[in-house]
Amino acid sequence: MLGSTYIFAGGATGGHLYPAIAVADELKKYQPDAHLIFICSNHDIDRYILSSRSYAYIPQPIRPLPQKITEVPGFIRCLSSSLRLCKRIVRDIKPVAVIGTGGYVSVPMIVSAARGGVRSGLINIDAVVGRANKYLARKVEVTFVQFDSTANLLKGATEVIKVGCPIRQELLRGDANEARRLWGLSDQRKTLLIMAGSLGAININRAVAAIADDLDELADDWQILHICGHGKLDETAGKVSRIRYVVLEYCHQISHAYAVSDLVLARAGASTIGELSAIGLPAVLMPYPYHSDRQQYLNAEEMVRRGAAIIVDDTSDVQSNAEALRGSLLEIMRNPSRLEAMSQATKDGATGDAAKKIARWMLGWDKDELVAGG
């Protein structure tokens, strides 16, 4: 096989795949003849995301830790199969380096790489650290994190380096004029981008629908681009009458959506926070409320601390959420000076070189050099 081979391990969510893709894209720029392989899950989302790329991918049968005793035998079978698969990959392909993007999907490949003497690293972009990553951080050479606070949660890790969130460079090259052409938006109005995620955050969709009359009052100054999630059009379509309102189930041109936007309403997943920070977009964040560790609240803290975002609690009650958005989102939309201050705070914290730094580590660059910027 010509060229060196590098492996990316992770999947089951876009949040675990997109940072790896960002690193892979950068690595290819440095070493065009490199062979890149993704060891992912067998979930549909992995195939959907990776099939649109030129990178090879190998699904594995790994499952998350069982919640019921009856699930244990199936979990053990899948784990054993994944470990055998990854052991063969290490033996036959002999990768130069392996990077895991966290979570249970990364475990078989990282463990196999460690046993086979292959350099391995881990990306933990969430503020919190899950059980799998706490375990893996002891196996790898280095763990790359997005937030300063994460290092304190990785006791026993070999080494921890803060680099930020790996961002696909294509996200930084959006075209606002192309966005206006695609979606019929005006260059005379500001744009609110609502991101409910690919699966659709139903509470966000319903809260926005409940303030439709308020949004109509802003029709002279604002327009809305709403990514509502697959199968969620009925929750959002037809609720407004005056304001320009474009609803998409999924957005394949997210870089253009970012480029045309002035304010974002979204969850606070780690990738979303990384992208908004790198691009420089202020936000009203509604963290997912059902995580016991409140990870999305912790992800949002840095943007909030800079004055680049505010948090609105998702109470799961439509009217309560609508009232909270009236006092936060609408207040910003009606107050140009407040929006400008938040925009400036976001730009002051913008950085987008995490993917380059991790790619340089995979290529064997000295860690002091990559942290300094290379």
Q: Looking at the structure, tell me whether residues 205 and 108 fall in a common domain.
A: no
Q: Looking at the structure, tell me whether residues 138 and 194 fall in a common domain.
A: no
Amino acid 297: pLDDT: 94
Q: Looking at the structure, tell me whether residues 71 and 112 fall in a common domain.
A: yes
Q: Looking at the structure, tell me whether residues 135 and 205 fall in a common domain.
A: no
Residue 278, class by beta-carbon neighbours within 10 Å (0-12 exposed, 13-18 middle, 19+ buried)?
buried
Q: Looking at the structure, tell me whether residues 118 and 255 fall in a common domain.
A: no
Question: What is the pTM for the complete model shown?
Answer: 0.88
Q: Which residues contact 174 (CB under 8 A, 6 or more apart)?
A: 253, 254, 255, 256, 257, 258, 259, 260
Q: Looking at the structure, tell me whether residues 106 and 180 fall in a common domain.
A: no
Predicted confidence (pLDDT) at residue 56 exceeds the cutoff of 70 = yes
- Packed helices 270-279 and 14-30: angle between N→C axes, nearest 10 degrees: 50
Confidence band of 237 (pLDDT split at 50, 70, 90): low
Q: Looking at the structure, tell me whether residues 327 and 363 fall in a common domain.
A: no
Q: Looking at the structure, tell me whether residues 112 and 206 fall in a common domain.
A: no
Q: Looking at the structure, tell me whether residues 114 and 224 fall in a common domain.
A: no
Assign 79 to helix, strand or coil: helix
Residues in the chain: 374
Q: Which helix (H) or strand (E) holds 190?
A: strand 190-195
Amino acid 366: pLDDT: 67
CATH, residue 102:
3.40.50.2000
Q: Looking at the structure, tell me whether residues 361 and 331 fall in a common domain.
A: no
State the Cα–Cα distance between residues 179 and 202, nearest whole angstrom: 25
Q: Which residues of 90-118 are buried (b: 16+ CB within 10 A; e: fewer)?
A: beeeebbbbbbbbbbbbbbbbbbbbebeb
Domains: count for the chain: 2
Q: Looking at the structure, tell me whether residues 146 and 98 fall in a common domain.
A: yes
Predicted confidence (pLDDT) at residue 62 exceeds the cutoff of 50 = yes
Q: Looking at the structure, tell me whether residues 190 and 82 fall in a common domain.
A: no
Percentage of the chain beyond pLDDT 90 is 79
198-218 mean pLDDT? 87
Domain that holds residue 122: 5-167+352-372
Amino acid 199: pLDDT: 52
Q: Which residues contact 88 (CB under 8 A, 6 or more apart)?
A: none
pLDDT digits (tens, 9 = 90+) for 275-330: 999 999 999 999 998 888 899 999 999 899 999 999 999 999 999 999 999 999 99
Amino acid 70: pLDDT: 95
Of the candidates 301, 323, 319, the one whose C-alpha atom is nearest the C-alpha of residue 311 is: 301
For residue 170, give both structure tokens.
């294509």
